[in-house]
Amino acid sequence: MRPAVFLDRDDTLIVNRAITAHSAYPGSLFDPALVQLCPGAALACRSMHQAGFALVVVTNQGCVARGECSVQQVEATNARVRAVVRAEAGVDLDGLYYCPYHPRGTVPPFHVEHPWRKPNPGMLLWAADDLRLDLAGSWMIGDAERDIVAALRAGIDRPRTIIVGDAPAAEVGHRVDSIAAAAEIVLQSAGGRSR
C-alpha cells in the first residue's frame, strides 16, 4: 500500500474561477478546451509522484445535478486534465474521481445527497480501496473547507491537510498560497520521515 496525495481539481490543480467567472455558470468548468493547470501544478505533481505518492484527484461536479452540463462533458474535461498533467508534468494521475450528485440539483438521478460528495469522505474511501492506498499516510490539498473535512472524515490526520488560498476553514493543518507551496510541505515531511 502506498500513500496518496488527494488533490481537489478546481482552483487547486486547474484554474476554474478566473476562467468561468463571466460565463453562464461561474465556478463550473466543463469545456475541455479551457483546461489549464494552476501555476506550479505541473512541477508539484511531478515531484510528489517522484517522492512515491499516488496522485488522486477527487472533485465535486454538482454542475451535472444542476443541469449545467452532462456527464459526458465532465468526463471529457477530466480526460483533458489527465492529458495536460501527462504532457506538462510527465506523470500520470493515478486516479480521478468525480461526484455528479447534489441535493439541490434538478436532474434525476443526480439530484440527491451522495456519500461521494465532499465533505463526505466517499470518494477518498473508494479510491483507497480501488488503488490500495495507505490513507493514514496520505495527504489532502484543496481550496475549500469541504476538501479538508472529507479528508479528516476519511481518516487523514489534520497535520496532513493543506488548504490553498484564503477560504475559511476551521480545521486545517496548513494554509499556503499555491499548490507549489503545498507540495513543498508534503515533500519536506516525506523527506524527514525517510532520512
Which residues are near Mg ion by CB under 5 A? 8, 10-11, 143
CB of 8 to Mg ion, least distance (A): 4
Cα(155)–Cα(135) distance, integer angstroms: 7
8 is catalytic: yes
Which residue lies nearer to Mg ion by CB, 26 or 191?
Answer: 26
State the residue number with the nearest CB to Mg ion: 10
CB of 1 to Mg ion, least distance (A): 27
CB of 167 to Mg ion, least distance (A): 9
Catalytic residue among 8, 11, 94, 147: 8
166 is catalytic: no
CB of 38 to Mg ion, least distance (A): 10
Q: What grid cell was written down for 53?
A: 505518492
Which residue lies nearer to Mg ion by CB, 48 or 190?
Answer: 48
CA 125 to chain centre: 14
Q: Give the start-end residues of each E strand in 15-160.
A: 54-60, 95-99, 139-142
Which residue lies nearer to Mg ion by CB, 10 or 94?
Answer: 10
Task: Put the strands of the sheet holding 139-142 in their side by side order.
Answer: 95-99, 54-60, 4-7, 139-142, 161-164, 174-176
Q: Give kind and range of the element (H or E) at residue 192.
A: helix 179-194
DSSP string, 46-79: HHHHHTT-EEEEEEE-TTTTTTSS-HHHHHHHHH
Q: HSE of 152 in the Cβ direction (CA atoms, 13 Å)?
A: 16
Which residue lies nearer to Mg ion by CB, 118 or 160?
Answer: 118
Residues with a catalytic annotation lie at 8, 10
